[in-house]
Amino acid sequence: MPSWGEILTEIQAEQARIDVSRQQNPQDPALSRLLGADVVRRKYLAEMATHAGRNVIVYASGWLQKPGLPADHIIVHPSDMDGFMEVVKSCDKTRPLDFILHSPGGSPEAAEHIVNYLRQKFSHIRVIVPNMAMSAATMMACAADVIMLARHSTLGPTDPQMTLRTNTGDRLIPAHALKADFEAAKIAAASKAYMAWAPILGQYPPGLLAQCTSALKLTKLLMKNWLKTYMFKGEKNAAMKAARIAKFFADDKHFTHGRPLMGDQLRKAGLKVDDLETDGKLQDLVMSVYHATTHTLGGTFVVKIIEGHSGKGYFRQFVPPQMRPAAR
């Protein structure tokens, strides 16, 4: 399996070739925008599509490479639909889809929109997680016919995260944690301790508790419906299996929202999870795509990539304020 460093070496060699071509063809606009990581990533996406005989789409966020970015830039977001429409347009809809997913999660409503769109376009979807698909990204994975994980890959709890605007920027806080605050404050109201909760509760907007409750219900409902409709389609007790798994992911007994839930634990919970390692060639291609993607996310202003094996893609960028051109 190619390592991060081996893919970096390949990218550097490709970049050197591009630099020579730029010197020889300084007027070529395509060369002015081309990066070695783009060439390498697209090469492996195309090879993966040929190997598996399926469409391939990678959906990856740079939250690990660029911590502290505004949440809307890195999470599953309604604006991502623009990217999926661009990429899916060039896919062969008669073929199934391999969906490489690497994301911290985000909006359950955005996840629902993306899932519904992809399920309308492709009759069979295999979600492949090369590293992490957390929260709403876990929900998206559970809308697949089958999930494929490497031994190091992880899904996570699905209690939704609520965006709170603070003086220091947006904060994502799990709905379970916010509900726990309100429950603790309710208990404290019977004693003098309630005064300590006043400044904490004062930072929460009106209606937040109701929003948390609704978001938790929606998450369970979507998970249950998707699992029953796709992963367990036609199976006996499909609804019961789906409800049990949806409850497992939404349970606050995982303690933290970022708790890694890995292959053996997920199979025990009832999910259909295949090992990526069973197909060595596919594993090499998936991890090559993943490493090339992380090099782009770590070495450029790109913070999110949605790209297909045909070369069509959507790239979201974030330029730090201190690096933006000064206003005239």
Burial of 27 (0-12, 13-18, 19+ CB in 10 A): exposed
Mean pLDDT within 54-64: 97
Tell whether 311 is covered by a domain.
yes
Nearest 5 degrees, angle CA 88-CA 286-CA 288?
Answer: 110
CA distance 307 to 280: 23
Of the listed ranges 50-54, 80-84, 100-104, 174-178, the least confidently predicted one is: 174-178
Query: What mean pLDDT, rounded, does the chain reach?
Result: 90
Q: pLDDT (tens digit, 9 = 90+) per residue, 218-274?
A: 999 999 999 999 999 999 999 999 999 999 998 878 878 889 999 999 999 999 999
Count: domains in the chain: 1
Alpha helices in the chain (DSSP H): 4-24, 29-33, 36-52, 71-74, 80-88, 108-121, 136-141, 175-188, 194-202, 208-226, 238-250, 263-269, 280-299
What is the model's pLDDT at position 192?
65
Tell whether 88 is covered by a domain.
yes
What is the model's pLDDT at position 234?
92
Tell whether 28 is covered by a domain.
no
- Largest distance between two CA atoms of the chain: 78
Of the listed ranges 6-15, 182-191, 286-295, the least confidently predicted one is: 182-191
Mean pLDDT within 122-135: 97
Tell whether 293 is covered by a domain.
yes
**Nearest-CA neighbor of 222 among 101, 59, 113, 60?**
113
Q: pLDDT (tens digit, 9 = 90+) per residue, 295-321?
A: 999 999 999 999 999 999 999 998 887
| Contact in structure between 106 and 70 (CB atoms under 8 Å) | no
Is 210 a residue whose pLDDT tops 90?
no
Is 147 a residue whose pLDDT tops 80?
yes
Tell whether 29 is covered by a domain.
no
Of the listed ranges 78-87, 99-108, 129-138, 251-260, the least confidently predicted one is: 251-260
pTM as predicted: 0.90
Tell whether 101 is covered by a domain.
yes
What is the model's pLDDT at position 25?
87
For the record, the structure tokens of 239 come out as 């609804």
Enclosing domain of residue 95: 35-319
CA distance 78 to 83: 10
What is the model's pLDDT at position 193?
65
What is the model's pLDDT at position 212?
82
Tell whether 284 is covered by a domain.
yes
Reported confidence tier of residue 326, pLDDT bands at 50, 70, 90: low
Tell whether 10 is covered by a domain.
no
More confident residue, 102 or 72: 102
